Structure 1
């Protein structure tokens, strides 16, 4: 009897629901067929998700406790930014909820993969993804003799520093992040005037969304185009940078290609 009870407890979850964009994508990459029964609506948005096709094959949820509970999940995957009320309500209803922190560096991606693999009972699959991720990243990272100075620049004059996933991607691609020159490790506001005075080698802007808001005016300001020795890089979509999944290697590749093009000038 004790053996049977222990074996039952060790059974992988069969009805998994994800309510967070990043756990959606981690689970989509690792779950067994039929194991993941619903993902959040954000994962079906091409502007936010790199796994739209896989996500659209599943029912979407709005991340609300009642809606999720009615799906009869045996495991819910959430993020630290998921509403605490939602997590609390589900747990009070007896639903197991696993909360994942966002990746703040490339080094944390294998950790998240291992955590997701354990939660889903897919440890072997996670180990393989970790091995492949590390091997692919090692091929992309080199030691350039000169590291160009780059600025990540978003709406509301926001920038991100080295203590973020985006900053880690930039570093791996061979750039120095000018946010560190202003003590912005996690991120913060970098006024347009300060950005221009910094004269970075390249500026990487965030996506300019339809129905442009005043907060985004800085992304297309004429002063940026007037910088003589600064390259304005093609805008990358938020989806390339936002979640700690193996797909961020695409962002590293794109940034490395940008750096090599600067070296060739």
Structure 2
């Protein structure tokens, strides 16, 4: 018969202390009081979620109408250019960054002992929910974050309440770039009840589509963004090609609100509503 060995008396105090330590409540970490964001997407999440006086600075792109939907709100905050020196002098207790933000800046700030939290770009509405809730937890603003998630879900439900049109859409940008599977734009198209031509072509992420392939795909809708740089640009020659002009004449051109498609938040749904309304008004192909 196997003998069991009693716990040695000398170990009892240590075990008792360990149990007491495990049972003790963990003190709540104080909410950050001086937050700096260096990425346009974390800029907007922070502006939506932060409490009064909690957010100190946002990136310069937060004031760029081609990149941000919250340019007016961004005027209330200091601006940074993702430089380690300027951010260090702001004395933040939390920095919000994107995974594609300046690696040198992020690394140096961490070396200097500053807490930096990085966020990957949202590629789905699940990612959007996760990022909202994570910012809410970091800023100790869970209630506000939950309200934004509820707003997002309500918008998605409203979009889903309309029968999908099934119309084929092609996003066609400068240098003939488009976005396919695994992108927030693709999620927006699906939410609007549309079929993404790029996804049908097997494109994942961003990629270039020759004009000939776009014409063969015969999209019902062609969505474009920046078509005028204010000066001649080789990047936009695809928009002035006669074949593209003919394609637009045979389909339904639609201008998408690009800033709403760059970052994930409840405002992202505005792009889906714009596209859904355009599809409903599009009628039959000529």
Question: TM over 0.5, yes or no?
Answer: yes
Q: Quick one: structure 1 residues 107 and 147, their matched pair in 2 at CA, closer, same or farther if it must change by over 3 Å?
A: same
Q: Which residue of 1 aligns with 2:275?
A: 255
Q: In structure 1, what is the Cα distance between the partners aligned to 2:217 and 2:251?
A: 10
What is the alpha-carbon root mean square deviation over aligned residues? 1.8
1:200 aligns with 2:219: yes
Aligned to 2:181: 162
By how many angstroms is 1:255 displaced? 0.6
1:245 maps onto 2:265 in alignment: yes
Structure 1: give runs of 5+ residues left out of the alignment: none
Q: Number of aligned pairs?
A: 260
**Match among 253, 263, 282 for residue 232 of structure 1:** 253
The structure with the larger Rg is 2
Q: Which residue of 2 aligns with 1:216?
A: 236
Q: CA deviation at 1:135?
A: 1.0
Pair 1:140–1:76, CA change in 2 (3 A): same
In 1, distance between residues paired with 2:125 and 2:171?
A: 17
State the match for 1:34 in structure 2: 53
TM alignment of 1:125-144, pairs within 5 A: 125-142=144-161, 144=163
Deviations 1:150-172 (A, max 9, x none): 10111111110131001110111
What displacement does 1:223 show?
1.8
SS of the equivalent of 2:190 reads helix
| 1:6 positional shift | 5.3
Distance 1:117 1:154 in 2: 34
Q: Aligned partners of 2:217 and 2:232: how far apart in 1?
A: 26
TM-score, reference length from structure 1:
0.93
What is the alpha-carbon distance in structure 2 between the residues aligned to residue 153 and residue 196 of structure 1? 12
Structure 1 segments of 4+ aligned residues over 6 angstroms from their partners: none
1:87 paired residue number: 106
Question: CA 1:106–1:219 in structure 2 vs 1: closer, same or farther (change >3 Å)?
Answer: farther
Indicate yes or no: 2:202 matched with 1:183.
yes
- Whether 1:20 and 2:60 are equivalent positions in the alignment is no
Whole-Å separation in 1 of the counterparts to 2:205 and 2:222? 18
Partners of 1:76 and 1:97 within 8 A in 2 = yes
Q: Which residue is equivalent to 1:117?
A: 136
Q: Is the CA contact 1:142–1:174 (under 8 Å) kept in the aligned structure 2?
A: no
Q: Tell me, what secondary structure is at the counterpart of 1:226?
A: helix
Distance between the aligned counterparts of 2:164 and 2:123, measured in 1? 26
Q: Do 1:78 and 1:100's aligned partners in 2 also have CA atoms closer than 8 Å?
A: yes
Pairwise CA distance, 1:146: 4.6
Mean CA deviation greater in 211-220 or 66-75: 211-220
